Structure 1
Amino acid sequence: MGRHDDETETSYITVPSFFKCPISLDVMTSPVSLCTGVTYDRASIQRWLDGGNNTCPATMQLLKTQDLVPNLTLQRLIKLWSDSSGPGSSPILNPPSGTKVPTKEEVNESLNRLMTTLSRDDDVRIEILTRIVRFLKDSDTNREFLKKKKTEFITLLVGIIRMKTTTKKKMELVLMATKILDTIKPDRETLSNLMLNDDGGDCLTAMLLAIRRGDQDSKIEAVRVLDWISYDARSKLLVAEHDGVLTETIKLINVTDSDPSLIEASLSFLITISKSKRVGSKLIAAKVISKIKDILMTTEMTSVSVTEKSLKLLETLSSKREGRAEMCGEDNGRCVEGVVNKLLKVSTAATEHAVTILWCLCYVFREGTAAVERSNGVTKLLVVIQSNCSVMVRQMAKDLIKVLKINSSALSAYETKTTHIMPF
């Protein structure tokens, strides 16, 4: 049946399976047979043979000869079938690459081929994964369809990622498999166990290569997959302690060079793994606070989400002694000034994160007060008390003002009969 017939006169019709090349899955234009009796489109089988293969792709039998015999009978049948559509209809048998969205039946057929010996060839794998990516991009229904696939499909994708990525084609396969996993987001625990089996060395190395060598979208997808598989204490440590993962991710938080979507994905991942105390210390040692300071102090437009996530990560790191030392000591407390500058300027969530950071620094540990006073923090905190922030945040703002030695009479207008709830 035609696809989107109500929107266009062009239609894509159902193709008899034996008219399709077993390699490309497109209607054959020049069908030729191998000595095994299996017929392929000439261009596809020639590519296979030119790649140094001496087997029949469908059966994996060794070829006694590589002669290609034209299948004239099948060619005539294809022509008759094509002409039978009638003069008023112009079906497209082989739409241009990248335009035809596969049907669910074709995707199932592609998945079956991917799990057979035919998929040992990188070109075939790339072709199949390209079709699957096109299918996923088309609709939420398609994404749900693949998400419900059995674990074998996810295992196969993880197997592709686990390959030694020594060639350009293998790297392309890794990036495509990563894109599919990021799109369908399979069961988190299942994917984590598959990728981190035996400490996940090969998979994490592949993700690291994707971050280093991939384009912007590939970097985002790789970071999001790392975030997705970091679901418990063990997985967070395995991912964070893999050599290079933290340093490469922190490099992506570059407010002048990186895309906001990439910065946001990187911050989300770092927030996820920072909940481990050991990882938090590693992040501080890797100078992530300096990167956050640059985001907070930038005069350029920064997205609300990036600012919120920056403050949320800083809130976690402020509970550590070395984190507070970095925030208050480096560059004369500019990071603390950056936090004060975001009070009431971004969103309610950003303000609440900022107040919590300042409360931890100044009220709990009596650090960073000079930077807060220097950046007119007292006045802003007085306004926070009058804002629609939560009761807990307003109380923290009052605590801060008292620490900053403001006359208690200035607080009389804001006194409330509330119970102070500790945020930690």
Structure 2
Amino acid sequence: MPQYQQLASWRLEGGGQVIDLETAVKDGILGGGGDAGGALPTGKDGILGAAAEKLDLKQMIEELDSAAGDDVPSVFICPISLEPMVDPVTLCTGQTYERLHILKWFSLGRLTCPTTMQELWDDAVTPNRTLQQLIQAWFSQRYLRLKKRSKDVQGRAAELVQRLKKVKGQARVQVLKDLQKIVVAHPSVKTTVADSAGIAHLSSLLGPFTSHAVGSEVIAILVNLSLDSDAMASLMQPAKISLVVDMLNEGTIDTKINCARFIEMLMADKGFRYEVVSSLSLLVALLRLIKDWRQPSGIAAGISLLKAICSYEQVRSLIVSVGAVPQLVEQLPNLRPDCLEPALHILGDLSTVAEGRLALKDCPKTIPYVVKLLMKGSCTHCALSILWSVCKLAPDECVPVAVEAGLAAQLLLVIQSDCTPEVKQQAAELLKLFCSLNSTNSLFISKCKLTRTIQ
């Protein structure tokens, strides 16, 4: 009976057989086959050098998990865990498994081969050294190749940053495009760009005389980098923000999205001041971005930034003045779930200022649309805040509209749901307001009694 898995069973395309490690590397079963750029590091034996032997197999498997993908030879995979083996052992049936998993199989009282389900006449396991060497060699080759590629990419990024200091015009745009592609494709390059003073140089390219072609590429790079406070402060200069706002108004959809993301990124800095976003031009550009139903990604980016801007009370009246309230209300039924909650959050924030409340009241769709969102999970709190602000402002005018929209029934559902006590209390207060304006209506009287019992 064989005591280990015979590698002679590995068939090559030409009909030959792999008989040892050297042949496996030579004939390409490990991916070596004549590719000088991917050759394994060799030692005195000409097979696998000390450099590869020092590499930890488990660590390489983890780091190459996404890179290797389905390319891993099936013979390297443990039939139990379906993961590459680190310590392969062979049973008396000739089947090979990861030692840890086959021993666990035995510990459960199973004296069978998991693959063939044959009963074992011998529960001894034999280390499969040849297969382990092949696994080590295969992963070492790809690991070292990946590291070499990474090093080459970082060198390329540093070279492009240096070239930016020398080129102008269309050549500068092309260098920026190349750098942006590398930064997006290889996250490790971000540190290289920062260490080579790339962020400072990119920042210096933004200014009153920067073309939109250059500016859009610079912003596309910056939104993918980690910026420190000094870099943020430099990028908040009025001339730079003015350029970004211009591109948000006139750029391509990708440029507009990147500009919105860039401004929101700046807002995360503790040194950010609300005056930076107190711009009619910026707010108008955002509303245009949000209104373009053909670009869902643009809507999401615009709403996200507008929500961040709304966190500053000083800017809310300005946002109302550019028509944000009726536009957002009209779009509520068609917004994606990931945009719906932040849109309601914006309207809730705007309802805290007098101009916002009046705009919500004057919009005929506010109450019908918002009532429908009362039981949509995380939307409930914001929807209640909006309805309370509107109905409190003009109860005689708004409450009948709310009743017609079915708000009373929705409020009862909220009160009986598993919402937080604060939300239930808010719903109860709004229901009491309804009851006070409909004191002769028996249905509303019963609702008043119910409201009292839950308080």
2:320 corresponds in structure 1 to: 284
Contact persistence 1:312–1:353 (CA under 8 A): yes
Map Cα deviations across residues 282-338 of structure 1 (whole Å, 9 max, x no partner).
111111001111112x4xx420121111100000000111111111123xx322222
2:406 corresponds in structure 1 to: 376
Partner Cα distance (1:208, 1:272) in 2: 16
1:179 corresponds in structure 2 to: 220
Partner Cα distance (1:172, 1:340) in 2: 45
Q: For residue 197 of structure 2, give the secondary structure of its aligned residue in structure 1.
A: helix
Map Cα deviations across residues 229-258 of structure 1 (whole Å, 9 max, x no partner).
234798443322345111111222215x44
Q: 2:234 aligns with which of 188, 194, 207?
A: 194
Q: Kindly state the Cα deviation for residue 126 of structure 1 after the two structures are TM-superposed.
A: 2.3
Contact persistence 1:352–1:389 (CA under 8 A): no
1:20 corresponds in structure 2 to: none
Contact persistence 2:310–2:316 (CA under 8 A): yes
Matched, 1:387 2:420: no
Q: Kindly state the Cα deviation for residue 140 of structure 1 after the two structures are TM-superposed.
A: 3.8
Q: Kindly state the Cα deviation for residue 10 of structure 1 after the two structures are TM-superposed.
A: 11
Give the residue type in structure 2 aligned to 1:323: G
Contact persistence 2:157–2:189 (CA under 8 A): no
Give the residue type in structure 2 aligned to 1:105: G
- In structure 2, the CA distance between the partners of 1:244 and 1:131, relative to structure 1 (3 Å rule), is same
**Which ranges in structure 2 are unaligned for 5 or more consecutive residues?**
1-28, 39-149, 436-442
Contact persistence 2:374–2:384 (CA under 8 A): yes
Give the residue type in structure 2 aligned to 1:349: S
Map Cα deviations across residues 34-83 of structure 1 (whole Å, 9 max, x no partner).
xxxxxxxxxxxxxxxxxxxxxxxxxxxxxxxxxxxxxxxxxxxxxxxxxx
Partner Cα distance (2:230, 2:30) in 1: 41
Equivalences for 1:106-255 in 2 at 5 Å?
A: 106-114=156-164, 116=165, 118-119=166-167, 121-143=168-190, 145-146=191-192, 149-150=194-195, 152-165=197-210, 170-187=211-228, 189-197=229-237, 200=238, 202-231=239-268, 235-242=272-279, 244-254=281-291
Q: For residue 360 of structure 1, give the secondary structure of its aligned residue in structure 2.
A: helix
Give the residue type in structure 1 aligned to 2:324: V
Give the residue type in structure 2 aligned to 1:106: R
- In structure 2, the CA distance between the partners of 1:185 and 1:232, relative to structure 1 (3 Å rule), is closer
2:372 corresponds in structure 1 to: 341
Partner Cα distance (1:7, 1:386) in 2: 64
Q: Kindly, what percent of the aligned residue pairs are identical?
A: 20
Contact persistence 1:192–1:230 (CA under 8 A): no
Matched, 1:354 2:395: no
Give the residue type in structure 1 aligned to 2:372: N
Give the residue type in structure 1 aligned to 2:307: I
Contact persistence 1:191–1:229 (CA under 8 A): no
- In structure 2, the CA distance between the partners of 1:161 and 1:404, relative to structure 1 (3 Å rule), is same
Give the residue type in structure 2 aligned to 1:338: Y
Q: For residue 130 of structure 1, give the secondary structure of its aligned residue in structure 2.
A: helix
Contact persistence 1:223–1:265 (CA under 8 A): yes
Contact persistence 2:330–2:365 (CA under 8 A): no
Contact persistence 2:223–2:262 (CA under 8 A): yes
Matched, 1:263 2:294: no
**Relative to structure 2, which stretch is displaced further, 104-113 or 278-287?**
104-113
Q: For residue 258 of structure 2, give the secondary structure of its aligned residue in structure 1.
A: helix
Q: Point out the structure with max Rg over C-alpha.
A: 2
- In structure 2, the CA distance between the partners of 1:101 and 1:212, relative to structure 1 (3 Å rule), is farther
Q: Root-mean-square deviation (CA), in Å?
A: 3.3
Partner Cα distance (1:273, 1:179) in 2: 21
Partner Cα distance (1:356, 1:10) in 2: 70
1:398 corresponds in structure 2 to: 428
TM-score, normalised to structure 1's length?
A: 0.64
TM-score, normalised to structure 2's length?
A: 0.60
**Which ranges in structure 1 are unaligned for 5 or more consecutive residues?**
15-99, 419-424
- In structure 2, the CA distance between the partners of 1:352 and 1:139, relative to structure 1 (3 Å rule), is farther
Partner Cα distance (2:351, 2:251) in 1: 33
2:115 corresponds in structure 1 to: none
1:23 corresponds in structure 2 to: none
Partner Cα distance (1:8, 1:361) in 2: 72
- In structure 2, the CA distance between the partners of 1:365 and 1:183, relative to structure 1 (3 Å rule), is farther
- In structure 2, the CA distance between the partners of 1:233 and 1:328, relative to structure 1 (3 Å rule), is farther
- In structure 2, the CA distance between the partners of 1:8 and 1:110, relative to structure 1 (3 Å rule), is farther
